[in-house]
Chain A
Amino acid sequence: MTGTAFLEANHVSKQIKKEQILTDIDLSLHKGKIYGFRGKNGSGKTMLFRLLCGLIRASKGSVNVDGKTLGEDISFPPSVGVLIEYPGFLNGYTGFKNLKLLAEINKIIDDEKIKQSIGMVGLDPDDKRKYRKYSLGMKQRLGIAQAIMEEPELIILDEPTNALDSDGVEEIKKVLLDLKADGKCILIASHDKEELDYLSDEIFMMENGKIVDHYALEGDSA
């Protein structure tokens, strides 16, 4: 891959209470690509995602986003959308109202954009049902809408198709491919090999906090 990387991890390691969580991770990720991360539970995928978002600090090594070092130049990537575990959406609010509460923090998008994002993931933006009435699949879709609504440059999704039926999985795949075409840098963690292979330009295999394999798909050179 040529050109400057958008997101770089340089020999990143993380230790928590003497336990080695991540070991010597090197990444060079570009915009307009989807990167798949596969590995068993506890292999370090989610922890790596948290680290790339600035939520945890590297014990060794550094993470650069768009040329700026996390923890030194910036605390968090300036434009990032994340889905790691369900957000604590309020049961008494509609999906729209829950997203609006989060969008109000930055105020970079209007109500129309929030509704558009809800529609993109296959939910009805004008649905008056409260979040407590949502099925697991609907909750997952709302979580994805939350991650993409502010049109972030970097999108990090941990098991985005969890709890979705086959139609839902297809819809989300389409959304992700559209976002990729828009030039976003997308990172996805999943157990599902077939789904990851379909979506990803490159795959990273993780085991015990290390990247044990890395390969490109569809002729893309890693």
Chain B
Amino acid sequence: MRKRLVFTRLLYRDIAYSFSYSKIKYGIFFILTALLAAGKALQLQEIDSAGSVDVLYFMLKDEGYFLNLDNYQVPVDWIFFQTVALFLLSDYYVHDLGRNALYVTIRSSSKATFLLAKLFWLILQTAALFVGVFLVGFCVTGLVLGHFSLEVTPFYQHHIMPMLQLDRSPLQLMAQLLIGYIVTTLVLSTAQLLLVQFLDPVVSFLIVVLLLGISTIVDSRWLPAIHSMILRQEIFDLEHALSWQFSYLYSAAFFIVLSIAALLVYRRKDIL
């Protein structure tokens, strides 16, 4: 009973502390997201009559599979959102583990509860971050394009639907894109949380970013970041048959394994 109470209080503390600690960084991130969305909206408007879904799709998609290095294109926006999200999330927990673990764990009397609260915070924060990206993108593009809609637009009909291998409504496409980003970032961020137990935070971050970068080159469903690459999912590519069921189950299993490993390591770790 006490452990559950302490867990709830620690989770509340993480939410309150991280909001105050990171609000300026998140503010800058969302301003950049808004600018990027506005730029994409203006760009697409010149091609065809577009809506918010089209803009969000173009802003958050990857570059798909490639056959050889000559036709490799760097998915700049995809890397930007993934990397910045990982930075924002780890920036807080690295700070809190380094500066406050001593004062918080002594009060909670449990290292495991302290880290468990961090893992739940990570789930909530990751979801909130990408829901924020979608909301900002939706609102800004709605303002730029002059209409707020999740309906099929001429742009969707002419430029997205022909690429779809499976029938998907704009809303379903958005949901899959959003969940893909959330699960991928959650897995990578938890991997980083495990790595910071052994390595310098900067080195841990670089390793995770490297893992992210490899996913743009290597065609393997076992790489965690690949599951947020919408063009590599079966809805756009039946040949590789990467289904959302596999993506979500694999990511959930990976997240659970990493979380358990992080908890076990942290329980035995000295707080220096």
B107 touches A106 (CB 8 A): yes
B105 touches A102 (CB 8 A): no
The answer, among B21, B103, B111, for a CB contact under 8 Å with A102, is B103
The interface stretch among B6-14, B28-36, B51-59 is B6-14
A102 touches B107 (CB 8 A): yes
Chain A residues contacting B102 (CB-CB under 8 Å) are 50, 53, 55, 82, 84-85, 87
Chain B residues contacting A146 (CB-CB under 8 Å) are 103
Secondary structure at the B interface, as helix, strand, loop or mixed, is: helix
**Contact-residue bracket for chain A:** 20 to 34
| Cβ of A88 under 8 Å from chain B | yes
| Cβ of B202 under 8 Å from chain A | no
A87 touches B272 (CB 8 A): no
| Cβ of B70 under 8 Å from chain A | no
Chain B residues contacting A105 (CB-CB under 8 Å) are 6, 9-10, 13, 104, 107-108
The answer, among B16, B103, B110, for a CB contact under 8 Å with A87, is B103
Task: Give chain B nearest CB distance to A86 CB in angstroms.
Answer: 8
When A90-B17, A93-B20 are in contact, do A55 and B109 touch as well, CB less than 8 Å?
Answer: no
| Cβ of A67 under 8 Å from chain B | no
| Cβ of A181 under 8 Å from chain B | no
| Cβ of A133 under 8 Å from chain B | no
The answer, among B10, B96, B106, B109, for a CB contact under 8 Å with A88, is B96
B13 touches A104 (CB 8 A): yes
B111 touches A75 (CB 8 A): yes
Chain A residues contacting B149 (CB-CB under 8 Å) are none
| Cβ of B271 under 8 Å from chain A | yes
The answer, among A16, A55, A57, A101, for a CB contact under 8 Å with B106, is A55
Interfacial residues, chain A to chain B (CB-CB below 8 A) = 16, 50, 53-57, 74-78, 80, 82, 84-88, 90, 92-93, 101-102, 104-107, 146, 150
Interface pairs A-B: 9 shortest CB-CB? A88-B99, A56-B270, A55-B271, A105-B107, A88-B100, A87-B103, A76-B109, A90-B20, A92-B20
Q: List 25 A-B contacts (CB under 8 A).
A: A50-B272, A53-B102, A53-B106, A55-B105, A55-B106, A55-B270, A74-B109, A76-B106, A77-B106, A78-B109, A80-B106, A82-B103, A87-B99, A87-B100, A87-B102, A88-B98, A90-B17, A92-B20, A93-B20, A101-B16, A102-B107, A104-B9, A105-B6, A105-B10, A106-B107
